[in-house]
């Protein structure tokens, strides 16, 4: 051994492979979480939006609305571990309701949320103080209102196009472009 050369302990990994490094979220990388609605068979527009996001280099994961709390717990754990990039929550139908609940839940844990995008939720909700922006696409009268301490940007966007319904609003390419632009903006 040469003077000044480090000695690795047995079984100590000296370097990670590039595949391992790319699999881990970067500290400043935007993380997008998309939630499908009822029975996990509807809201497949969330999958196509996730694919579109990935194609422009934005990390996106899709899951069922019923898993919102465990997903939020994972987000909070990542935040506490130092992964402080922007957090974006997107959902359709029951998934839209779930992302609004996630925003509130993350606020209770001290986690800021950069953007929430509900696609035609099934009920009215309030934006919590930890959320910077809400872009609510809706066909029904279910709008998002400002909750206590919310000082962010709130847009309730009624989709007037008669060909867009609750069942296909999540797969609308024009709305996807708006969301991607908002995330990248």
Tell me, what DSSP letter sits at residue 142?
A: -
Distances (CA, A) of 164 to 46, 47, 120: 15, 18, 11
Residue 64 pLDDT = 96
pLDDT of 1 above 90: no
pLDDT of residue 11: 38
pLDDT 10s digits, 150-171: 999 999 999 999 999 999 999 9
pTM of the model: 0.85
- Low-confidence winner among 15-24, 85-94, 100-109 (lowest mean pLDDT): 15-24
pLDDT tens-digit series, residues 136-152: 999 999 999 999 999 99
Residues recorded for the chain: 185
Instruction: Look at the block and give the residue holding tokens 């139908």.
Output: 93
- The interaxial angle of helices 45-55 and 173-184, nearest 10 deg, is 40
Q: Give the pLDDT score at 9.
A: 36
Report, as an integer, the average pLDDT of 112-123.
98
């Amino acid at each position: 051994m040469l003077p000044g050369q480090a000695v690795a302990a047995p079984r100590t990994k000296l370097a990670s492979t590039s595949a391992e490094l790319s699999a881990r979220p970067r500290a400043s990388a935007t993380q997008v979480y998309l939630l499908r609605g009822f029975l996990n068979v509807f809201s497949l527009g969330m999958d196509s939006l996730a694919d579109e996001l990935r194609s422009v280099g934005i990390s996106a994961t899709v899951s069922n609305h019923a898993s919102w709390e465990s997903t939020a717990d994972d987000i909070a754990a990542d935040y506490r571990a130092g992964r402080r990039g922007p957090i974006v929550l997107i959902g359709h139908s029951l998934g839209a309701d779930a992302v609004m609940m996630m925003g509130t839940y993350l606020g209770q844990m001290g986690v800021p949320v950069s953007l929430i995008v509900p696609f035609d939720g099934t009920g009215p909700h309030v934006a919590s103080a930890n959320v910077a922006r809400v872009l609510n696409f809706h066909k029904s009268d279910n709008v998002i209102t400002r909750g206590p301490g919310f000082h962010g940007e709130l847009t309730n966007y009624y989709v007037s196009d008669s060909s867009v319904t609750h069942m296909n609003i999540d797969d609308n390419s024009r709305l996807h472009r708006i969301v991607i632009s908002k995330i990248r903006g």
